[in-house]
Structure 1
Amino acid sequence: MDAGDQLSMSLSRTSRDSGFNAIFTEVSHPHTLGLKNAEQLRLFHLAVQNSRFSHRDLISFLRLNLGRYVFSRAEIADYTVTDRTELIVYDAAGRMGTQDSGQGLGELMLYILLEQVLNAPKVLSKIELNQQAGHTRSRCDAIHLLTPDGGTPVSSIVFGTSSLSGDIQDAIDDAFDKIVQIETNSATECQLAEEQVFTTFLDSGTAKTIKELLIPQPGGAVSYDSSYGIFLGYNLGLLPGNYSNDDYRHQLDWKMGHDIAHHASYIANKITTLNLGTHAFYVYVLPFDDSDTDSVSIMDAVLQRGGKTSG
Structure 2
Amino acid sequence: MSGEDSSSIEASVRVVLDKYTGKWEKPYSTQNLKRLYYHGLNKNAAKKIKDAGIDEDSLKKYIDDFSDEDKEIIAKKIQATNDNDPLMKIDQISYYCVNWLSRLVEEAINGQQKKPTISSGYNEKNDISLTIREEGRIFEKTFNSIKEIKLPLQNSRMRAFALLPVKGIYSHKNLISLLRKNLARYVFSRKNRNECDDLEELTAEATTELREFVRKCNPQILLGELLVYIFLEHCEKAPKIFTRAEFFHKYGAIDKKSVFLRENDEGWQLIVGTPNLSTTLDQTILATLEECEKLKNQNEFGDGPYVAEKLQSSFLEDSYYPEQIKKIESIMFPSLRRKSLGVQVDSYGIFLGYQVDDFGNDEERVKQLLIQDADRAVKMINNFVTNHDMQRHSIYVYLLPFKNPKYESSRIIDKLVGC
| Superposition TM-score, scaled by structure 2 size | 0.63
Cα distance, 1:137–1:45 mapped onto 2, change above 3 Å: closer
From 270, 275, 293, give the equivalent of 2:384. 270
Separation in 1 of the partners of 2:142 and 2:367? 16
The Cα shift of 1:76 comes to 0.4
Uncovered stretches (5+) of structure 1, i.e. residues with no partner: 307-311
Separation in 2 of the partners of 1:114 and 1:71? 17
The SS at the match of 2:227 is helix
* Aligned residue in 2 for 1:301: 415
The structure with the largest strand share of the pair is 1
The Cα shift of 1:231 comes to 0.3
From 264, 269, 286, give the equivalent of 2:400. 286
The answer to whether structure 1 residue 11 and structure 2 residue 124 are counterparts is no
Q: How does 1:12-27 map to 2 (within 5 A)?
A: 12-18=129-135, 19-27=138-146
CA contact (8 A) 2:333 2:342 kept: no
Separation in 2 of the partners of 1:163 and 1:136? 15
The Cα shift of 1:188 comes to 6.5
The letter of the residue matching 1:112 is: I
The answer to whether structure 1 residue 233 and structure 2 residue 349 are counterparts is no
The structure with the largest helix share of the pair is 2
The SS at the match of 2:275 is strand
CA contact (8 A) 2:244 2:254 kept: no
* Aligned residue in 2 for 1:76: 193
Q: How does 1:35-184 map to 2 (within 5 A)?
A: 35=153, 37-49=154-166, 53-79=170-196, 83-100=197-214, 101-102=217-218, 103-133=221-251, 137-138=255-256, 140=257, 142-148=258-264, 152-184=265-297
The SS at the match of 1:28 is strand
The answer to whether structure 1 residue 193 and structure 2 residue 307 are counterparts is no
Uncovered stretches (5+) of structure 2, i.e. residues with no partner: 1-34, 36-41, 43-113, 117-126
* Aligned residue in 1 for 2:326: 208
The Cα shift of 1:17 comes to 2.3
Out of 278-287 and 184-193, give the one that drifted further.
184-193
The SS at the match of 1:41 is strand
Cα distance, 1:185–1:129 mapped onto 2, change above 3 Å: farther
From 199, 218, 223, give the equivalent of 2:342. 223
The answer to whether structure 1 residue 250 and structure 2 residue 364 are counterparts is yes
Q: How far does the alpha carbon of each residue in 1:200-231 deviate from its partner, in whole angstroms, 9 at most, with x for none?
A: 12233332211111123253354335311100
Cα distance, 1:98–1:281 mapped onto 2, change above 3 Å: same
The SS at the match of 2:271 is strand
Cα distance, 1:180–1:28 mapped onto 2, change above 3 Å: closer
Separation in 1 of the partners of 2:356 and 2:167? 15
Separation in 2 of the partners of 1:204 and 1:292? 42
CA contact (8 A) 1:24 1:46 kept: yes
The SS at the match of 1:145 is strand
Among all aligned residue pairs of Structure 1 and Structure 2, give the percentage whose two residues are the same amino acid: 26
Separation in 1 of the partners of 2:166 and 2:310? 44
Separation in 2 of the partners of 1:153 and 1:23? 32
Cα distance, 1:262–1:239 mapped onto 2, change above 3 Å: same
Q: How far does the alpha carbon of each residue in 1:14-54 deviate from its partner, in whole angstroms, 9 at most, with x for none?
A: 0012211111110026x54322x111110111122587521
Separation in 2 of the partners of 1:136 and 1:294? 22
CA contact (8 A) 2:157 2:395 kept: yes
The Cα shift of 1:137 comes to 4.9
Separation in 2 of the partners of 1:269 and 1:188? 23
Aligned residues: 285
Q: Which has the higher contact order (CA 8 A, sep 6+)?
A: 1
Cα distance, 1:235–1:177 mapped onto 2, change above 3 Å: same
The SS at the match of 1:69 is helix
The letter of the residue matching 2:151 is: L
Separation in 2 of the partners of 1:27 and 1:64? 24
Larger radius of gyration: 2
Cα distance, 1:181–1:131 mapped onto 2, change above 3 Å: farther
The letter of the residue matching 1:229 is: G
CA contact (8 A) 2:184 2:206 kept: yes
Separation in 2 of the partners of 1:270 and 1:164? 19
Q: How far does the alpha carbon of each residue in 1:260-294 deviate from its partner, in whole angstroms, 9 at most, with x for none?
A: 22221101111111211011110011111110100
From 365, 369, 374, give the equivalent of 1:260. 374
The Cα shift of 1:196 comes to 5.3
* Aligned residue in 1 for 2:121: none
* Aligned residue in 1 for 2:39: none
